[in-house]
Amino acid sequence: MTERKPLTVQQKTEILKKLNEKLEALMAQRKNKN
Amino acid sequence: MTTDLNQVRESLTGLKTQAEEVKGAEALTMKELEELKQDRKFDNQLAIAHDNIDNYLRDTEGASLNVDVKKQEIVNLLKEVMDIQDENDPAFRELANELGLLTPVIKAEQGGKGGEVTPKVEKFTSPEAVEKARTDALGILEQVKGSIEITGENQDKKRKILDNVFATLKERVQSKEPSLPTFEELKTLAIQKANAEVGMAAAMLLDIPGLINGLLEKQEIKGKYEEAKKVLDSVSVDSTKKSTALENMSEGELNNVDTLIDSIPKDAWEDVPEGQTKSLGDLYKEAVMSGYKENYDKWEADKYPPDMFKKFGRMIGGLFEKLGKFLGPLFSKLSGLPVIGDALGFLKGFLPEKKEEEIPDAKKAIQKEIKEAKNKIEWTNADSATFKSFNTFRDGGKIETSAGTMVLFPPMKELLGFIDGLPLEKSADYKSISVADFEGWYKNTPPQVLSLLTWAYGKKEKNDPTFSKISRDTWEALLKSTAKITVSADNKTAEFGSSVKGARSITLETWSDAALRKVLGLEVVAGKSKEVINLYAHSESGIGLESMTELWEGEGETKKLKEFLVELADPKMEPFWGSYRLTQRDLENLKNHAGGHGNQGMKALDDADIGVHDVQFILEIGKYIPTELWHWNGTSLSYDDSSNAERYFEVSAGGWFDRNPKFDSVESFFTWLGSGIDKVNGKTLLFDPNSPATIGDTSVNTKSPSGNSDTEGEDEDEIDK
C-alpha cells in the first residue's frame, strides 16, 4: 500500500472543492434528465 | 463588616484587569492569520459538502433510493477525486469521516432493565465489531418494537406500517454492510417516500436523543419544525392518555405509507432468524409478520396468552413513562421559540459525554469565526462583522446553521475607551483595576460598568434570574471597597467581588448569554434568518468573556435590552442611582421623600434648618469626596465641583452652625458627622451623645438621656421638649 503523507488543510480544501463540483454536477445532471 | 469591606476593597482593584486584558490582547501573527484563512476555506467547503451530500441523499429523482448505495456513490466520487483505490487509506478515511460517510452504528448498552437503551455511536473497526453491533442493533430493534403499543382505530394498518418500518431497519442491520439508518436515511426511507410520522416516530424510538439532536442541528429544522413537533407531541404521554404517532394518522396518511410497505422486498419478511428462543419480541414479531403475510385484519389477539398482553402493557407503560419524562421538558421548550439553544442544552445531558480534548468541529469553527470577526472589528475599527455559526453532528461533524452580524453597541465602545484610559498596574499573573481609580466615579461610570456591578452584586430574582438591581447597602459596601475582577492569565476564568456577601462569582464559562447581554449591552442585528439570530459576546469587554452563541428572537428582546440600558443610564428611573448622582433635583426628591419617618436626629436637624436631604447628601458624599473640595465660610458648608454645575451644593443651615461654634471648619463638621456615621443603623441616623458637637443648649436635643444611642423612639418626648 502506498504510504500517503497526511493531507494539508489546503489539499483537503481542494479535494472537497472538487467533490462538491462533482456532486453539484451530478445533481444538475439528474435534474435535467427529469 | 469591616473585614468584609476590606476584602471587597481589595478585590475591586480588579477592574484594572479589564484594561490590561484589553490592552494586552495580542494580535494574530500573519502566519496565524493565514492558518485561520485556510481553516475557514476548509470549513466552508466542508459545510458545502455536507449540504450537497444531504441533498443528494434526499434526492428522490435518482435511480436508487437506497442510502447505502448513494453513499457508496459519493465515496466513489471522493476516491476518484483523491485518486485512490483503498478505502482504508487514512487520508481518505479522515475526509470520509468528516463528511459523515463512515456510517456510525448505534449500539445498545443494556443495563439489565428491559427497554432501557443507551445509544452510543461506534464505528466498525473489525469483523467482530460488526457482528457485535449487528447483534446489539437487532436487540434494540426487538426491544423497541416489542414496546410499542398500538391503539385507536386502524390498528392493523398501523401495526403493519410500524412493523414494516422495523423490518426495513432489521434488513439494514442484517445486510452485508450493516448499519442502522441515520436520521437522513430514515427521512429518505419513510418521510419522503411515504409518511414523515412513521419514519420519525421509529427513528425517535430507536435513538431519541440522536434524532432530536439531529433535528435541531439541521437547517431543515426550520421547515420541519412543525412536523417534528407534531410527531413528538403525538408520542407525548401523560398519565391519562397513551398514544402513538400512528394513532393520529388519518386514513389517507396510512394509505400513503402503504407505498413504503410495498417498496420493501418481500424476502425481507420471510427472513426470520432461526434458532432463537421466543422472547416476547419474537412472539410479537411473529404475530405481526404472520398477519402481514396473510391478512392483517384477521390477526387476532386471542392467539396469544392473555398474560402476554399484560406484560406488554407493563413494558409499554414503562417505556412511555420514560418517554414522557424525557420528552416532556423538551415539548415545553418546543412550544415556543427560541427553543433550539435550550433544547440542545437540555439534550446535552442525554448524549454521551465528550472528553475534554474532543472539542467538536463546530465549536472550533465557531471559535474561529468569532475570533475573525473580533479581529476585524479590532483591526479595522469596523462597527460590525459577520460571522457564521455551526452545530455539531453526533459523529463530530458540523454544519453551518446560521449567520449573524456582530456589532459593538455604542456604549460598549465608550466602555472600552473608558477602561483603556485608566492607569494600569501590572502584576505577574493577575491584573486588576480598583474602583478608586474611577476618577469621577459617580458621573462617569458607564452603564455597562454599573450593570456589571449590579449583576455581580444584585440579588437573583424569580422572574429574571440574570439580573436585579443592586441593593443600596451592597452598593455602599462596594464603593467603600476595592472589589476586583480577577482574570486568570489564560483569560479563561474570572472572579468578581466574591468576598461580598451574596455576590456572584463570575466564571466565564458559566455566564449565560442573557447575563452577558445585559452586562455588556451587546446587540445583535439580524443575520440570514429572521427567526434565529446568533448572539455573540466577545472579549473586548475587557473581562475576557468567552464567545458563545445563543438564539435570540425578534425585536422584543432587543427592545428590552435597550430599555434596560436606558434605565441604568437615567437617574430618574432609579432614585437609588440618582442619589449618587446627587443633582439638585435629586436632593429635592430626597427631601420630598425623607420626611416623617420619625428619625430623631433628622427631625432635629430639620428644626435647625438643615434638611434631611442635606444631611443625607453630606453623609453620602462626605464619605467619598475629599474634604479639600468642601468649603467652609464659618456659617455655611459648600461643595462645589466646578466640572459639574449640577453637583454644586451648599449647606447654609440658617443659624444652626452659629449655634454650634464647634463647627469652625470642614474637618470639625466631618469629624462630628463621622461619629454620627458610625451610628448609622440601617437608614436610621442616630447622633452620638458623646460626639464633640453635642447640641445640648438649643431646642435641638439629640442626646439620649440614657446615653445609649439605640434607644431611639423611647426618648421622643424628651427630645422634642
- Residue B45 or B230, more confident: B45
Residue type, B261: I
Highest mean pLDDT among B11-15, B96-100, B678-682: B96-100
Lowest mean pLDDT among B158-172, B287-301, B448-462: B287-301
Task: Please answer yes or no on whether A13 and B38 come within 8 Å at the CB atom.
Answer: yes
d(CA B278, CA B282): 5
Which residues on neighbouring strands pair with residue B403, listed in sequence order? Answer: B388
In this predicted structure, the answer to whether residue B381 has a pLDDT above a threshold of 60 is no
Which residues on neighbouring strands pair with residue B525, listed in sequence order? Answer: B405
- What SS3 class is residue B523? strand
d(CA B77, CA B350): 36
Quick one: average pLDDT of B35-55?
Answer: 77
Say if residues B478 and B441 touch (Cβ distance below 8 Å).
no
Q: What are the residues whose beta carbons fall under 8 Å from the beta carbon of B524, sequence distance 6 or more?
A: B404, B405, B406, B407, B533, B534, B535, B536, B552, B558
Closest CA to B3 of B11, B675, B427: B11
d(CA B417, CA B34): 30
Question: Which residues does chain A have within 8 Å of residue B38's beta carbon, measured at their own beta carbons?
Answer: 9-10, 13
**Cβ atoms < 10 Å from Cβ of B284:** 21
Size of interface A-B (CB pairs under 8 A): 70
- What residues of chain B, 52 to 71, have a C-beta less than 8 Å from chain A? 52-53, 55-56, 59, 61-62
pLDDT digit string, tens, across residues A1-33: 445 567 888 888 889 999 998 888 888 887 776
Confidence of residue B633 (pLDDT cuts 50, 70, 90): low
d(CA B385, CA B399): 21
Which of A5, A10, A20, A22 is best to mutate for the B interface (most B CBs within 10 A)? A20
Quick one: average pLDDT of B205-222?
Answer: 37
Share of chain B above pLDDT 90, in %: 0
For residue B245, the model assigns a pLDDT of: 37
- Residue B81 or B6, more confident: B81
Q: Which residue has the cell 428582546?
A: B557
For the entire predicted model, the pTM comes to 0.23
CA B574 to each of CA B253, B564, B595, B623: distance values in angstroms, whole numbers, following the listed order: 60, 12, 19, 21
**Cβ atoms < 10 Å from Cβ of B306:** 8
Which residues on neighbouring strands pair with residue B106, listed in sequence order? Answer: B121
In this predicted structure, the answer to whether residue B169 has a pLDDT above a threshold of 50 is yes
In this predicted structure, the answer to whether residue B33 has a pLDDT above a threshold of 70 is no
Quick one: average pLDDT of B49-60?
Answer: 77
d(CA B7, CA A33): 77
Task: Please answer yes or no on whether A12 and B77 come within 8 Å at the CB atom.
Answer: no
Closest CA to B531 of B191, B226, B211, B214: B226
In this predicted structure, the answer to whether residue B627 has a pLDDT above a threshold of 60 is no
In this predicted structure, the answer to whether residue B74 has a pLDDT above a threshold of 50 is yes
d(CA A18, CA B77): 9
pLDDT digit string, tens, across residues B529-573: 222 222 222 222 222 222 222 222 223 333 232 233 233 333 333
CA-based R_g, chain A, Å: 14
Q: Classify residue B124 as left (phi > 0), alpha (psi -120 to 50) or beta.
A: beta
Question: Which residues does chain B have within 8 Å of residue A18's beta carbon, measured at their own beta carbons?
Answer: 81
With the C-alpha atoms ordered B576, B578, B584, B585, is the resulting torsion angle positive or negative? negative
Residue type, B273: P
> Is any Cβ of chain B less than 8 angstroms from the Cβ of A9?
yes
Minimal Cα–Cα distance from A6 to chain B, Å? 6
Quick one: average pLDDT of B247-271?
Answer: 37
Say if residues B534 and B552 touch (Cβ distance below 8 Å).
yes
Question: What distance lies between CA B535 and its chain's CA centroid?
Answer: 10
- Residue B194 or B162, more confident: B162
Highest mean pLDDT among B131-140, B597-606, B642-651: B131-140
In this predicted structure, the answer to whether residue B128 has a pLDDT above a threshold of 70 is no
> Is any Cβ of chain A less than 8 angstroms from the Cβ of B82?
yes
Confidence of residue B669 (pLDDT cuts 50, 70, 90): low
d(CA B232, CA B162): 16
Tell me the average pLDDT of chain B: 44
- What SS3 class is residue B679? coil
Highest mean pLDDT among B56-60, B321-325, B516-520, B683-687: B56-60
Q: Which residue has the cell 477592574?
A: B15
The interface predicted TM-score of the complex, written ipTM, equals 0.92
- What residues of chain B, 11 to 50, have a C-beta less than 8 Å from chain A? 35, 38-39, 41-42, 45-46, 48-49
Q: Which residue has the cell 444652626?
A: B656
Q: What are the residues whose beta carbons fall under 8 Å from the beta carbon of B93, sequence distance 6 or more?
A: B87, B102
pLDDT digit string, tens, across residues B148-166: 555 555 566 556 555 665 6
For residue B36, the model assigns a pLDDT of: 61
- Residue B288 or B65, more confident: B65
pLDDT digit string, tens, across residues B222-247: 333 344 344 434 433 332 332 233 44
For residue A16, the model assigns a pLDDT of: 92
For B600-609, b/e burial (b = at least 16 CB within 10 A) is: bbbbbbbebe
Question: Which residues does chain A have within 8 Å of residue B77's beta carbon, measured at their own beta carbons?
Answer: 19, 22-23, 26
Question: What are the extents of the domains in chain B?
Answer: 2-29+376-570, 121-348, 582-720
> Is any Cβ of chain B less than 8 angstroms from the Cβ of A20?
yes
Q: Which residue has the cell 472589589?
A: B483
For residue B218, the model assigns a pLDDT of: 37
Highest mean pLDDT among B145-159, B309-323, B614-628: B145-159
Question: What distance lies between CA B313 and its chain's CA centroid?
Answer: 40
Q: Classify residue B142 as left (phi > 0), alpha (psi -120 to 50) or beta.
A: alpha
For residue B53, the model assigns a pLDDT of: 85
DSSP secondary structure code for residue B189 in this structure: I
Please, what is the Cα angle at B120 between B115 and B125, to 5 degrees? Answer: 125
Minimal Cα–Cα distance from B100 to chain A, Å? 13
> Is any Cβ of chain B less than 8 angstroms from the Cβ of A3?
no
CA B100 to each of CA B451, B533, B611: distance values in angstroms, whole numbers, following the listed order: 45, 27, 76
- Residue B140 or B299, more confident: B140
**Among B61, B81, B91, beta carbon nearest to A6:** B91
